Homo-oligomer: A and B are copies of this chain.
Amino acid sequence: MPNKTPITVAYGDGIGPEIMAATLRILEAAHAAIAPEVIDVGEKVYLGGNTSGIAAESWASLRRTKVFLKGPITTPQGGGYKSLKVTIRKTLGLFANVRPCVSYAPAVATRHPTMDVVIVRENEEDLYAGIEHRQTDEVFQCLKLITRPGCEKIVRHAFEYARANGPKKITCMTKDNIMKMTDGLFHRVFDEIKVEYPDIATEHQIIDIGTARLATQPERYDVIVTPNLYGDIISDVAAELTGSVGLAPSANIGEHVAMFEAIHGSAPDIAGQGVANPSGLLLSAVMMLVHIRQSEVAARVHNAWLRTLEDGLVTGDLKPSADGRVLGTEAFADAVIARLGQQPRQFKPVRYVDAPTARTTPQPLYTRAQPAQKRMVGVDVFVHAAHATADFLAGRLATLSHQPKPAGFALQMITNRGVKVWPGGFAETFCTDHWRCRFMGIDAAGAPREVRHQDIVHLLDNLVSDGLDFIKTEHLCEFDGVPGYALGQGQ
């Protein structure tokens, strides 16, 4: 018996204790070399006054073992309780959310009996950075941040996953026809990295068309890699298409720590009755075993589970076959244990190889590049003005761009919700109370020039002198000569 790998285990709320007990019993019977450390998280901890649902000593366990098998959690309503999953993901940098969505027909009824898709979702950034501001009476803003390290890590992880697990194709989905800079970066990084994996076919789809195709022809996808929000949506679509979200596992992988959990909730309505299906958590534990490099045990558990399903033995959430039977949680676990060492006959037996980890991956997930030559050339100043017209604002701003302090700017355009309303503009364009005013640096001869931070401070000072309610700024820079800012609609 090899040394046991310490793992942190949380039984969770609702059906959590039952399905975790069943899962751990199967792992033990399969001779998984694990040493569980049990922590308390979730409802009890929340209601005990800890708004993040996890105590300091539990953090210590996670950081020590670096592997977390997590039962479902009930987050109490109201009272400012924060999602434990999101907290752990963000704090520990779990950048990859990996969601295999597999059909198990005929054991599970589905319109898509042959689907076998893995969604690899970026897990930390995008609109989920949680940076929101109310800017005016009428306008609220959320920042979508897409970063090069975020893209490189998730894309490389997707390719490494595909290489280790056998999929032959990766589809990248973005909306880079609209978001040319942010989603454009994700797509570009995908194109950069794919050349390192010539054995894997690749394609890119716009997310709207991609989601529609996934919804109607999931069989055509192997691995899909995509930013956070899109991944959130399509992983739910894919899970639903398999016919049972109750069977779906997930892994949240970071460079230091990884978390494994079923995607279903704590189902308090059936808690304590011994009828819950442990399969989602069990398959998550299988992903964990691969992660901690016990892939042989992982395959043994997974194949026994497939054989159980094939034999018509299911929990009450599924329909048994004609010669099958509905079992309770523990009896289902017994059935899986009884089949350890057996292979499925209709389903294709699974094989695993030990997961690539950050330590053993030949390519680093991210290496910071040399910085570009950055040159500031202007600034977007956003102004809150409820009863102004674009022409009126432009008149004031044109003067303030160079006096009283000689800031050295010229007003280039004003947009409202991204649409150019000055110069030119159409009467039909509806204007909110939120104006983006673009100032470009000019020299005495009116030619473009580089801008210093001090110039921007002077410009803002000029706006203050006129009593203008500016609410935010965005500096405009070129990086190695390429403008780092989009044009206005109609510009």
**Residue from B124, B134, B148, B241 in contact with A181 in the complex, judged by beta carbons closer than 8 Å:** B134
Indicate whether A95 reaches chain B with its CB closer than 8 angstroms: yes
Query: Digit string of A247-288 for contact with B (CB within 8 Å is 1, else 0)?
Result: 000000011110000000000000000000000000000000
Is residue A470 within 8 Å, beta carbon to beta carbon, of the partner chain? Answer: yes
With contacts A212-B236, A237-B211 known, is A429 near B129, CB below 8 A?
no
Task: A36 to B181: give the CA distance in the assembly, Å.
Answer: 40
Residue among A129, A369, A386 with the most chain B CB within 10 A? Answer: A129
Residues of B within 8 A of A183 (CB): 142
Instruction: Determine which of B181, B254, B369 lies in contact with A132 in the assembled complex, contact meaning CB atoms within 8 Å.
Output: B181
**Which B residues are in CB contact (< 8 Å) with A239?**
212
Of A125, A216, A368, A415, most buried by chain B (CB within 10 Å of CB) is A216
A474 near B: Cβ within 8 Å? yes
A207 within 8 A of B: yes
Does residue A372 face the partner (Cβ distance < 8 Å to B)?
yes
Query: A372: which B residues are within 8 A, CB to CB?
Result: 137
* A93 beta carbon closer than 8 Å to chain B: yes
Q: Does A484 contact B (CB under 8 A)?
A: yes
Assess the B470–A472 pair: CB atoms within 8 A. Answer: no
Task: Give the docked Cα–Cα distance between A30 and B106 (Å).
Answer: 51
Quick check: which of A17-25, A293-301, A394-402, A450-458 contacts chain B, the rest being far away?
Answer: A450-458
A164 interface contact, C-beta 8 A: no
Check B461–A137 contact: CB distance below 8 A: no
Name the B residues within 8 Å of A232 (CB-CB): 175, 208
* Interface positions of A from 450 to 491, Cβ below 8 Å from B: 453-454, 456-457, 460-461, 463-464, 469-477, 479, 484-486, 488-490
- A233 within 8 Å of B (CB atoms): yes
Q: How far is the CA of A197 from the CA of B368 in the complex (A)?
A: 55
CA of A486 to CA of B371 in the docked complex: distance in angstroms?
A: 31
Q: Does A33 contact B (CB under 8 A)?
A: no
Query: Which among B147, B178, B371, B490 is the interface contact of A386 at CB below 8 angstroms?
Result: B371
Beyond A140-B185, A141-B145, whether A233 also contacts B208 by CB under 8 A is yes
Complex: A52 Cα to B485 Cα, angstroms: 20
Q: How far is the CA of A457 from the CA of B466 in the complex (A)?
A: 14
Q: How far is the CA of A213 from the CA of B236 in the complex (A)?
A: 9
Considering the chains assembled together, what is the distance between the CA atoms of A99 and B366 in angstroms? 42
Most chain-B CB neighbours within 10 Å: which of A134, A236, A432, A486?
A: A134
A141-B145, A237-B212, A457-B464 as given contacts; A436 in contact with B131, CB under 8 Å: yes
Report the Cα distance A380→B215, complex, angstroms: 41
Interface residues of A in 403-420 (CB under 8 A from B): 415, 417-419
Given A93-B428, A130-B488, A429-B91, is A144 in contact with B144 using a C-beta cutoff of 8 Å? yes
Given contacts A134-B484, A137-B369, A371-B137, contact A91 B233 (CB under 8 A): no
Q: Is there an interface contact between A140 and B182, defined as CB atoms closer than 8 Å?
A: yes
Instruction: State which of B86, B215, B474 has its C-beta within 8 Å of the C-beta of A489.
Output: B86
Q: Could you tell me the distance between the alpha carbons of A372 and B95 in the complex, rounded to whole angstroms? A: 39
By the criterion CB–CB under 8 Å, are A145 and B140 in contact? yes
Q: List 24 A-B contacts (CB under 8 A).
A: A63-B426, A91-B489, A92-B426, A124-B417, A130-B486, A131-B436, A134-B479, A135-B475, A137-B148, A140-B145, A141-B143, A141-B145, A211-B211, A211-B234, A212-B236, A212-B241, A215-B241, A216-B240, A255-B430, A457-B460, A457-B464, A471-B474, A471-B477, A473-B473
